Structure 1
Amino acid sequence: MRRLIVSTFASLDGVIQAPGGPEEDPAGGFTLGGWMFNYCGEGMDFSASGFDGKDREVVLGRRTYEIFEAYWPYQPVDDPTARTLNAAKKYVASRTLTTLHWNNSTLLHGDVASAIIALKAQPGPDLQIIGSGNLIQTLQAASLIDEYNVWTFPLVLGRGKRLFGETAKPSALRLVRSQVSATGVVMSTYVTDGDIRPGSFVTAEPSEKELARRKKLANDRK
């Protein structure tokens, strides 16, 4: 069974919209595109975290595909990321696109979760999602993502598309790797770790004051 791996950039408050430039995704009036630029530097291994899709097959949402299709085929042939992404086999989830012009790109038809389940069952390298926030949310809710590479940048954007929303499925993750760049970017890798296992720090019998507080909360929810 192939793994499905996510790699994405995020602000401290979880925004993933338009990290690469002002024109990347201005949807919703977002004006802070390009927020990751000034934090990139030595010691940040994009390939090791899957951002170039090296040795993997790439899965993209429609918006990210259109951004990549308009950029990577036009970069110098000696650019290692361009060379890797242009050569990689790519699967694109879209309800509106009918034709793909980027080399080695294939449309996923029908229900995207079912399509990914079928891909994971096929022999081959692991599957790599880059960006593609809406697709990540859909596949996370379907419990299909096995690993997350999340680079958290030290800034708060306040608005924009977020990595996870209210539709996210509650699930536990386990940190397997973490490194901090010289510019303060926390580069972390998580794997799925089953269901959330709640607990409580309260070990003694609750006080009358605590019981009254709980009763008030219950009444407020009615």
Structure 2
Amino acid sequence: MRKLIESTFVSLDGIIDDTRPSTASRAEPHHWGHPYWDEDHGNYATNLVHSADAFLLGRVTYEGFAEAWSTRSGPEADMFNTMPKYVASRTLTETTWNATLIQGDVAEEVARLKEQPGKNILKWGTGELDRTLIDHGLIDEFHFWYFPVIVGAGKHLFENTGLDTTHLQLADINRFDSGIAVHVYTPK
């Protein structure tokens, strides 16, 4: 069975992103995280992507990634652009960028995808989709990339997801010279 791996950038004060105009310029991970993106960061991210043969994305992450990656070229961009993507959304009616919109019950469809032969399925970002995935025990690993920065405003990890108490087990910690520490958690 394939594993579903979630990968999320997190500041020390728990910020993962923001879509509010008042704080978005400082709360988006590509702004506060970029100074720490080095060879260690790149190698870890590349290995994570190479361990997968499909992406699972919520609408917000899908739209952001499609905008950022679809016009790029080169080995890394080609891999991102050609890898199949499965998008969970209540508002999108169609997708582009080699993506398939999940129809019907998301939990059932993700469970079906996990049963297919292949490599891991990689989910970037944390949001509303997580409640469904966690409630149905579908996430096998969480990779939380803690960056040595305090953002001060923005959307917090698992904010507005409506999750109940969920216990996880620390499986690994990867430390980079830049100060990033990736904590890998599995369900307990």
TM-score (norm 1): 0.73
Contact 1:14/1:164 (<8 A) preserved = no
1:70 and 1:181 mapped to 2: Cα distance?
A: 28
User: Which one-letter code corresponds to 2:46 in the other structure?
Assistant: S
* 1:37 correspondence with 2:34: yes
SS of 1:133's equivalent in the other structure is: coil
Cα deviation for residue 81 of structure 1 reads 2.4
* 1:120 correspondence with 2:117: no
User: Which one-letter code corresponds to 1:136 in the other structure?
Assistant: D
TM-score (norm 2): 0.85
Cα deviation for residue 65 of structure 1 reads 0.8
Instruction: Describe how 1:21-60 pairs up with structure 2 within 5 A.
Output: 26-27=19-20, 29-30=22-23, 31-32=25-26, 33=28, 34-44=31-41, 45-48=44-47, 50=48, 52=49, 54-60=51-57
Contact 1:61/1:92 (<8 A) preserved = yes
User: Which one-letter code corresponds to 1:3 in the other structure?
Assistant: K
User: Of 88, 95, 98, which aligns to 1:93?
Assistant: 88
Q: Is the helix fraction higher in 1 or 2?
A: 2
Larger RCO (CA under 8 A, 6+ residues apart): 2
1:114 and 1:161 mapped to 2: Cα distance?
A: 28
Cα deviation for residue 154 of structure 1 reads 1.4
2:110 and 2:95 mapped to 1: Cα distance?
A: 19
* 1:162 correspondence with 2:159: no
Deviation sequence 1:84-125 (CA, Å, 0-9, x none):
11111110011121221212x111012322221222223332
Tell me which residue corresponds to 1:141: 135
SS of 2:15's equivalent in the other structure is: coil
Contact 2:52/2:122 (<8 A) preserved = no
Tell me which residue corresponds to 1:177: 172
Contact 1:6/1:136 (<8 A) preserved = no
1:177 and 1:56 mapped to 2: Cα distance?
A: 22
SS of 1:71's equivalent in the other structure is: helix
Q: Is the strand fraction higher in 1 or 2?
A: 2
Bigger Rg over Cα = 1
- Identical-pair percentage: 39
Contact 2:173/2:181 (<8 A) preserved = yes
Cα deviation for residue 132 of structure 1 reads 4.5
Q: Which moved more, 1:61-70 or 1:171-180?
A: 171-180
1:100 and 1:146 mapped to 2: Cα distance?
A: 26
User: Which one-letter code corresponds to 1:69 in the other structure?
Assistant: A
* Alignment coverage as a number of residue pairs: 181
- Where structure 1 has 5 or more consecutive residues not aligned to the other structure, the ranges are 18-24, 194-222
